[in-house]
Amino acid sequence: MKHIYTLLFCLFAGYASFAQTDSLSLRIAEIEKSLNYQHGEISLGEGMAKIVVPKGFRYLDAKQSEYVLTELWGNPASGTTLGMLVPEGKGVLDADTWVFDIEYEDMGYVKDTDAADIDYTELLETMQEDMTEANKERVANGYDEIKLIGWASQPYYDNNKKVLHWAKELNFGGAESNTLNYNVRVLGRKGVLMLNAIADMNSLPEVKQNIPLILNSVTFEQGHSYFDFDPNVDEVAAWTIGSLVAGKILTKVGFFALLLKFWKVIALAIVGGGSALMKLLKGRKKEEPAPEPEQEYEKVAN
């Protein structure tokens, strides 16, 4: 009889686990369906630049991207994203997903005279030291430490197109899997367009394969390009090519690692982990209809 009770308990526990998994899957599908993806030509920064969404990608506007970055992936709200490119066939909550987040920094005209003289091995060592120091503040604010493992792809500057790109391998809070941070910087007349790939290291080959598409998809509009610089009226940035590479790692880059870290927990329907996604999924009442992305965003912003 004892064995029968044990068997019944196991069957019930298994059923409850599968039911919970099914509920989470439905909620994830609901969230994904609520997102409004776009294709074609998209204006960025009130006509400053444009992106022609490359084949194999979809575009999420700034509000929906902020919702994904904060409410779904657990990042502090920044309000700086201009949107993101999401690969076709991948949802923002898929375990193997990755995206390119788009931002703009109005820092002035970046001189590129130092591009050919940078020792990237020495620069990496300096960046690792800076990261160790920055971790003190991160921990004090309740965030995991970030460890800069090394270059996933060494920095490269295309002098003709005025485009800089490189990749870092990062580890967050001692997670089993490392995070890929692939950076693309398109230099402009008064600032820099920034496209940051947020992904797991396993996605590096796929991300690198799409870099040419990404580079060719974004351009500054006439009057805003690097070649439109007017030294008589335009400000020169304090930043150089080297300092762009060494710049502070965006906070949002790290928290994608949390999604990957807790994905097994989600897949097994084990409640816990403290992730923002789990709080979101548990916090919705079953009878409550899924809100539009703009409504979700307002909740985050408030």
**Cα 150 to Cα 299: distance, rounded to the nearest angstrom:** 37
Compute the chain's Rg from CA coordinates.
21
Tokens of 228: 């439109």
Helix (H) / strand (E) element for 84: namely: strand 83-87
Residue 22, pLDDT score? 67
DSSP 1: -
Burial of 145: CB neighbours in 10 Å, binned 0-12, 13-18, 19+ = middle
pTM to 2 decimal places = 0.72
Q: Which residues pair with 43 in a beta bridge?
A: 50
What is the Cα–Cα distance from 87 to 203, expressed in whole angstroms?
A: 12
Count of other CB atoms within 10 angstroms of residue 78: 13
**Strand segments (E) across 112-232:** 146-158, 163-172, 179-187, 192-200, 218-220
CA distances, 44 to each of 91, 186, 194, 241, 251 (Å): 23, 13, 12, 23, 22
- Residue 83's H or E segment, with its range, is strand 83-87
pLDDT along the chain (302 residues), means of 10: 42 46 77 93 93 96 91 80 93 87 93 92 91 86 86 93 92 84 93 89 90 91 96 93 73 39 31 38 42 33 30
d(CA 9, CA 15): 10
Let me know: does 262 contact 275? Beta carbons within 8 Å.
Answer: yes
Q: What does the pLDDT read at residue 206?
A: 92
Cα 149 to Cα 152: distance, rounded to the nearest angstrom:
9
Task: List the domains of the chain with CATH numbers.
Answer: 26-301 (3.40.1000.10)
pLDDT for res 264: 32
Whether residue 251 contacts residue 142, with contact meaning beta carbons closer than 8 Å, is answered with no
Whose CA is closest to 249, among 198, 186, 176?
198
pLDDT at 20: 52
* Residue 271 vs residues 17, 65, 168, 210, 262: alpha-carbon distances, Å: 10, 26, 32, 36, 10
Cα angle value 19/263/271 (rounded, 5°): 50
Strand blocks (E) in the chain: 41-44, 49-52, 57-60, 83-87, 99-105, 109-111, 146-158, 163-172, 179-187, 192-200, 218-220, 236-240
Q: How far is residue 246's CA from residue 258's CA, in Å, rounded to a whole number?
A: 24
What kind and span of H or E run contains 283? helix 276-283
Q: Which of 221, 184, 193, 164 is nearest to 50 (CA)?
A: 221
Asked whether the beta carbons of 252 and 66 are under 8 A apart, the reply is no
